[in-house]
């Protein structure tokens, strides 16, 4: 499960940076604490589907964009 959280975090960070969005700005827009957003991006926490949808909405992408292909992480 840890590999999945890391893969999701990497994708969130990549989308955020592609939009030149700071981590602080994304956290504020999502109503998430800045330090928690950092933990999400580092894959230290498992986020809820609801948070995934909120983050995707603020990044202007489909939530599935933030989910890795099964080849991107080791089996759960």
The class (CATH top level) of 2-61 is mainly alpha
> What is residue 33's three-state secondary structure?
coil
Residue 18 has what pLDDT?
A: 97
Residues sharing a CB contact under 8 Å with residue 59, sequence separation 6 or more, in sequence order: 12, 15, 16, 19, 21, 26, 66
End-to-end Cα distance, the chain: 5
Where do the structural domains in the chain lie, given as residue ranges?
Answer: 2-61
User: Global pTM?
Assistant: 0.89
Express each pLDDT in 15-73 by its tens digit: 999 999 999 999 999 999 999 999 999 999 999 999 999 999 999 999 999 998 876 65
Taking a C-beta distance cutoff of 8 angstroms, is the pair 44, 5 a contact? yes
């Amino acid at each position: 499960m840890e590999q999945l959280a890391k893969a999701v975090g990497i994708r969130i960070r990549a989308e955020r940076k592609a939009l030149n969005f700071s981590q602080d700005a994304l956290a504020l827009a999502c109503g998430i604490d800045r330090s928690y957003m950092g933990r999400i991006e580092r894959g230290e926490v498992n986020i809820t589907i609801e948070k995934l949808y909120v983050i995707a909405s603020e990044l202007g992408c489909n939530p599935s964009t933030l989910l890795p292909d099964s080849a991107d992480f080791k089996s759960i």
